Amino acid sequence: MNTPPFSRGTALPLRFSAEVKEALAQQQAVVALESNVICQGLDYPQNLQTALALEQKVRAKGAVPATLAVLQGEICVGLNNDELAYLATRPQTAKISSRDLAFVLASGSSGATTVACSLQIAAHAGIRFFASAGLGGVHRGAQQTMDISGDLIELTRSGLAVVCAGAKNILDLGLTLEFLETHNVPVVSYQFDDFPAFYCRSSGFKAPKRLDDPQQLAAAIEWQKRIAPNLSMLICTPTPEADALDAAAVEQAIKTASLQAEQQGISGNAITRFMMKAVEQATAGQSARANQAVLLHTTEVAAELAVVHARYCQQQQEQTAQAFG
């Protein structure tokens, strides 16, 4: 295996697609997307169909998609259809979190980016928006296991606008909100009162903040960048009612899956995938379909907000130029 060359001061090996490179140069709206969902979140061919549909959703709203991955030691910011298909047909592709990226680059290998790694890469690439279905968070029983997702840590140091449907139902959502509050991560629910729970509309917890006006949200994102540039803003949007699952049924499936995981000794990095698959089986595939619907919705909202934000920034620059012109 060839190890990529490295010298002091060398920039990260970022390879931008022509579409993303042009959009960033023109200060247009760009939405970063993770690739782990392609390899491990959904099965083939649904994963490839979803990946293509996500990118189409972004373009339809006037923004540019930037699906992220590492291929042969190169960080790819924007994938073509062949590269999406490559990942979709290789579920054995390594799952890369932010703590793994240095080792993947050093070995010249490939991997699919998690939320945490995607936030890390997007920040280096100069992308302002990221979309995901649901974040990782504080796991149930974390008082004993200390199992807290790296997604939450990356929110404290990536400085992005992160659009999602809250955090995954399998987590302790109350403690997840407490963690976010402790670390001063701004959490806002867009046009909704509650903190969403992935493919259920509400977690049962009120969101710390609600905003309905996308223009005001764009302004808040810019103020946040000036106030604390490393802190991301978590923007939550619930899945549409037609796609949402019954919260009580999902909770019962999660409790059953938790017991199975404990009996089988499954923990650590393997627990999330096990739990999601177990819930999918318990709901006769409904959760997988809901997962896809959540992804499409949050990505569409992210693209809408990214376009409003880009327009807002352009207007601010024009006003500044006129004031000093």
34 given a catalytic annotation: yes
β-pairing, 74-77 with 64-71? antiparallel
Tell me how far CA of residue 68 lies from CA of 38, 74, 113, 262, 266, in angstroms: 11, 11, 7, 33, 29
Compute the distance between CA of residue 44 and CA of residue 50 in angstroms, rounded to an integer. Answer: 10
d(CA 157, CA 126): 14
Candidates 21, 34, 83, 280; catalytic one: 34
- For 66, half-sphere exposure in the C-beta direction (CA atoms, 13 angstrom radius) is 33
Rounded to an integer, what distance in angstroms lies between the CA atom of residue 295 and that of residue 56?
Answer: 12
Angstrom distances, CA of residue 23 to CA of 61, 100, 188, 220, 270: 14, 28, 27, 23, 37
Indicate if 19 belongs to the active site: no
Q: How far is CA 157 from CA 152, 153, 185, 230, in A?
A: 10, 7, 10, 4
Q: Which of 83, 168, 300, 304 is catalytic?
A: 168
The closest alpha carbon to 119, from 159, 149, 147, belongs to 159
Which residues are marked as active site? 34, 168
